A and B are shown apart, each in its own frame.
Chain A
Amino acid sequence: MTDLATTLAPERTAPVPVRPRERSTARRRILVGVLAVLLLAALWELVKVVVPDAGGHLGEASVLPRTDDLAMPHVWDIVERVLQPETSATGSPTVLGAMLSACWFTLRVALAGWLVGSVGGLLLAALMQRWQLAEHALVPWVVLSQTVPLIALAPLVVGWGGRIHIGAFEWQRWMSVALIASYLAFFPVTIGALRGFQSPPAAQVELFRAQAATWNRTMLSLRLPASVPYLLPALRLGAATAVVGAIVAEVSTGTKGGIGRLIISYAQSASGDPAKPWAAIAAAALLGLLAAGLVSLLGLGLGRYRYAEVR
């Protein structure tokens, strides 16, 4: 496989570091993103024109949405509404302002949860890497908990708010939200880290073994660097799920201040103010992108470890 044809043919070039390509694709991505949003807006207006106001039913099930201005306000109305004050009360912030502060609140809680969950996940993965018995005992549970809807617990964990006191420490509501967020971030990170720690081929592991390297040394110099291509996507996924967890937890706790609460309260005022719920949804979508984007920044300095990213 060392022949020129194999090294030079375009589809078989040696693995290219991710970083040099990243800058041009970042610009293209933004462009595509803008294009996708414009397309979505056009599609939206098209549906409004084509589909009857009352929507469409197939037997009992409604298969087409209501398209009147109450259910699907015009795109420009949504944009306009975002820039107006939230309520008619004097001194009320604009919807945009309310959205931004809600996003900021949820982002902090989600990132706090993500941090706790990621550290926990890394530690657990290291533990499972160290003792095979731990791996055997824990992996089925970790996989299981990723496949079953443990987020269903959210309304229950939420009940802890204000009810746990340990000395001077009082369990706050936002901590329940962060706990659920961390819980959701925990599993993808654990699995990603474990796969990453186990990714070095036998030849490399045996090289370290042959040189009588300690477990710590092997972890630090071999397994940890080798895990980066597995870890980064897992951390990104963890950030995204942490945001979902935070929003869902806010909804089921009724925690004030975050975007989850905003989605619900705007939805409740939809009949009088139809554009507001959509603004909140847009904010939630942006929040997800922002959280994943922030975590992606972690990868910028790690270019040399990312020769082959696994998703």
Chain B
Amino acid sequence: MTAAAVRRWVAPVLLGVVALLLWQAFVVGAGIKPYLLPSPTAIVEQLVLVLPLVWSAALATGMNVLVGLVVGSVVAIGAAIVAARSRMADTLLSPTAAALSVMPIVALAPALNTMFGTTSTTPRRLVVSVVVFAPVFVNMLRGLRQVQPVHRDLLKAYAATPRQITRTVTIPGALPYLFTGLRIASSTAVIAAIVAEYFGGLQNGLGSRITSAASNSAYARAWAFVLGAILLGLVFYLATLALERAVARRQGG
């Protein structure tokens, strides 16, 4: 390992450890009540206790994220392809995506619960899909549009058909952008899936567990579920990152 690599890895890890120690010392030393902030050791203790519950809740929430992510991305990719081809579709879709990206989509959750039934997972998956749409659409469209002028000239000089241009230049060029979009979408998807659970409905996911633990004053347990949520977010983030890297490597990037 080079000195730079040491700095790059050691500094953040050291900071994390120091922060944890300070947290522990602060909570124990100052006698902070658990409703304000439980100590890291108390949280880990609880996590070990409720591990099976965290696991099943993470599975339930994770499934919502996965389904919503896939559905939302497929729709967004399709919409971006249409928008790249038709000016009219673009003038309608692009501002819609921009508006969606600043709207609090989770607000839809209670109404969707009424529409699909409170025992259904569909409302949450739908919320995730809508949240995913904007980042995937915007990045995919940008990727489809970023063809370099010199490549465009070249393909025109070769009298390439539109289909050939799409296959040889547009799609390979757009892929890295698509994966950037998916990476952003995957973390917002996890957030949306958890937050959607705060708005009622099924009680099987991480979000519901956090609220119910908090309302029962089981603060350390609530934090344990938060830890589970953080791990779930990491799993999705790393999965999309790995996918992105794999595609980049195949393309010689």
Q: Which residues of A are in contact with B by a Cβ distance under 8 Å?
A: 11-12, 28-29, 32-33, 35-36, 39, 55, 61-63, 65-66, 70-72, 133, 136-141, 144, 146-156, 158-160, 163-164, 236-237, 239-240, 243-244, 247-248, 251-252, 259-260, 263-264, 267, 270, 274, 277-278, 280-281, 284-285, 287-289, 291-292, 311
Would you call B115 an interface residue if the criterion is a C-beta within 8 Å of the partner chain's C-beta atoms?
Answer: yes
| Nearest neighbor of A281 in chain B, beta-carbon distance | B107
B233 surroundings in chain A (CB, below 8 A):
147-149
A264 surroundings in chain B (CB, below 8 A):
110, 199-200
B219 surroundings in chain A (CB, below 8 A):
156, 159
B122 surroundings in chain A (CB, below 8 A):
61-63
Would you call B12 an interface residue if the criterion is a C-beta within 8 Å of the partner chain's C-beta atoms?
Answer: yes
B157 to chain A, nearest CB (A): 14
Q: Within the assembled complex, what's the spacing in Å between the Cα atoms of A235 and B136?
A: 20
Q: Is the CB of A244 within 8 A of B211?
A: no
Q: Within the assembled complex, what's the spacing in Å between the Cα atoms of A11 and B145?
A: 12
Residue in B12, B106, B114, B206 whose beta carbon sits within 8 Å of that of A248 in the complex: B106
B103 surroundings in chain A (CB, below 8 A):
240, 284-285, 288-289
Q: Within the assembled complex, what's the spacing in Å between the Cα atoms of A287 and B226?
A: 28
Q: Within the assembled complex, what's the spacing in Å between the Cα atoms of A177 and B190?
A: 21
A73 to chain B, nearest CB (A): 10
Q: Is the CB of A147 within 8 A of B92?
A: no
A151 surroundings in chain B (CB, below 8 A):
191, 194-195
Q: Within the assembled complex, what's the spacing in Å between the Cα atoms of A289 and B211?
A: 28
Q: Is the CB of B230 within 8 A of A152?
A: yes
Which of A158, A164, A240, A277 is the most central at the interface, judged by chain B CB atoms within 10 Å of its CB? A277
Assuming the A-B contacts A138-B15, A285-B104, A291-B102, are A267 and B111 also in contact, with contact meaning beta carbons closer than 8 angstroms in the complex?
yes
A291 surroundings in chain B (CB, below 8 A):
102
A247 surroundings in chain B (CB, below 8 A):
104, 106-107
A66 surroundings in chain B (CB, below 8 A):
114-117
Size of the chain B interface, CB-CB below 8 angstroms:
61
- Could you tell me which residues of chain B, from 5 to 21, have a CB within 8 Å of some CB in chain A? 7-8, 11-12, 14-16
Would you call B113 an interface residue if the criterion is a C-beta within 8 Å of the partner chain's C-beta atoms?
Answer: yes
Q: Is the CB of B211 within 8 A of A277?
A: no
Would you call B187 an interface residue if the criterion is a C-beta within 8 Å of the partner chain's C-beta atoms?
Answer: yes
Q: Within the assembled complex, what's the spacing in Å between the Cα atoms of A252 and B223?
A: 15
| Nearest neighbor of A244 in chain B, beta-carbon distance | B104
Would you call B138 an interface residue if the criterion is a C-beta within 8 Å of the partner chain's C-beta atoms?
Answer: yes
Q: Within the assembled complex, what's the spacing in Å between the Cα atoms of A115 and B226?
A: 26
Q: Within the assembled complex, what's the spacing in Å between the Cα atoms of A144 and B12?
A: 11
Which of A70, A251, A311 is the most central at the interface, judged by chain B CB atoms within 10 Å of its CB? A251
B117 surroundings in chain A (CB, below 8 A):
55, 62, 66
B211 surroundings in chain A (CB, below 8 A):
155, 252
Q: Is the CB of B11 within 8 A of A152?
A: no
A8 to chain B, nearest CB (A): 13
| Nearest neighbor of B186 in chain A, beta-carbon distance | A147
| Nearest neighbor of B195 in chain A, beta-carbon distance | A248
A98 to chain B, nearest CB (A): 15
Q: Within the assembled complex, what's the spacing in Å between the Cα atoms of A288 and B187?
A: 20
The DSSP consensus for interface residues of chain B is helix
B226 to chain A, nearest CB (A): 5
Q: Within the assembled complex, what's the spacing in Å between the Cα atoms of A199 and B116?
A: 48
Q: Within the assembled complex, what's the spacing in Å between the Cα atoms of A146 and B190?
A: 11
Assuming the A-B contacts A136-B7, A152-B194, A243-B104, are A33 and B234 also in contact, with contact meaning beta carbons closer than 8 angstroms in the complex?
no
A281 surroundings in chain B (CB, below 8 A):
107-108, 111
Q: Is the CB of A147 within 8 A of B234?
A: yes
Q: Is the CB of A61 within 8 A of B120?
A: yes
Q: Within the assembled complex, what's the spacing in Å between the Cα atoms of A287 and B91?
A: 23
Q: Is the CB of B115 within 8 A of A152?
A: no
Would you call B101 an interface residue if the criterion is a C-beta within 8 Å of the partner chain's C-beta atoms?
Answer: yes
Assuming the A-B contacts A66-B117, A151-B195, A270-B114, are A284 and B104 also in contact, with contact meaning beta carbons closer than 8 angstroms in the complex?
yes
Residue in A11, A36, A63, A70 whose beta carbon sits within 8 Å of that of B96 in the complex: A36
A161 to chain B, nearest CB (A): 11
Q: Within the assembled complex, what's the spacing in Å between the Cα atoms of A288 and B95?
A: 14
Assuming the A-B contacts A137-B14, A285-B104, are A263 and B199 also in contact, with contact meaning beta carbons closer than 8 angstroms in the complex?
yes
Would you call B158 an interface residue if the criterion is a C-beta within 8 Å of the partner chain's C-beta atoms?
Answer: no
Q: Within the assembled complex, what's the spacing in Å between the Cα atoms of A179 and B92?
A: 36
A301 to chain B, nearest CB (A): 21
Assuming the A-B contacts A163-B35, A281-B111, are A287 and B104 also in contact, with contact meaning beta carbons closer than 8 angstroms in the complex?
yes
B237 surroundings in chain A (CB, below 8 A):
147-148
A70 surroundings in chain B (CB, below 8 A):
114
Residue in A144, A260, A267, A311 whose beta carbon sits within 8 Å of that of B114 in the complex: A267
A285 surroundings in chain B (CB, below 8 A):
99, 103-104, 107
A72 surroundings in chain B (CB, below 8 A):
115
* Extra 18 A-B pairs, beta carbons < 8 Å, given A152-B210, A240-B102, A259-B107: A133-B7, A137-B14, A148-B234, A149-B195, A150-B230, A152-B230, A155-B198, A155-B215, A159-B36, A160-B36, A239-B102, A244-B195, A248-B106, A263-B110, A264-B199, A264-B200, A281-B108, A289-B103
